[in-house]
Structure 1
Amino acid sequence: MILRTALAFCLALALSGPALAATESQPSIEVWKSPTCGCCGKWVEHLEANGFTVTAKNTSSAMLDRIKRQAGITEKLASCHTGLIDGYAIEGHVPAEDIKRLLKEHPDAVGLTVPNMPIGSPGMEQPGGETEPYDVLLVKKDGSLEVFARH
């Protein structure tokens, strides 16, 4: 009986190993946002639905502005929330697929931004399905911009 219990324990441990590893490999992002912004909460839900572990931090607009500037996001590139992940700033309604690509390619950059709040971007979906085209911009360390993705 003891041998059977020990074998069952070892089997359970062996089978849970890959699941634990998958959990640990999920990208983790810290999101700074206003406590009253509904679209920020929807963007957090979008990230979670796409495999990100999100720590959402509600803050004042003054603190949020400070976080943006410290991360290298200028007023011209700003939106309503800022994510921080693996040394990158993610500003605004950036799709999860673009963040995953950024992490995979790992360019020498400040991060990604979707300035303003384009209709149809993650968190800005409309009941009627309306969308508008928008670009995800790569913010380089020298302050220059490059189109990273078009949606």
Structure 2
Amino acid sequence: MSAHRFDLDLTQPAQGGVYFVGQDDLDRLAKTARRDALHVCRTDLGGCTDKQELLRRLAVSLTLPASFGFNWDALADALRDLGWLPAWGYVLLFEHADTLRRAAPEDFTTLLGVLDDAATFAADHDIPWFAFLALPDEAFDGS
């Protein structure tokens, strides 16, 4: 991907996790995931500046059940069990993640933890599960 230009095998649960990529990488990742029959979910975080807006956008992009509780615990539970999106693996793509990272760093850090927990849970259950968060190129050069 952009930072180091490596490729993952999205069919391998052991390689699952949370990765930072460049915005231009998302289309390639989506194409690869669809080729491998993985469910792709895209969430645009452009203009997203807080937890409530993040959870609202995720509820829409993930088509979360009406019972979704709009808190971190509910998100963690939902991401561990994506049963309403039947697939053998999942790829979550977050466009413009830098907006949330800059506006609400604590919420961004919490999101990363929730995503990482879901990826670990999925790997433990032999399910491919990846989250890719797009950041601007300057985020990768130590600035």
Same fold (TM over 0.5): no
Return the structure number with greater helix share: 2
* The structure with more radius of gyration: 1
TM-score tier after normalising by the smaller chain length? under 0.3
Q: TM-score, normalised by structure 2?
A: 0.24
Return the structure number with greater strand share: 1
By relative contact order (CA 8 Å, sep 6+), the higher-ranking structure is 2
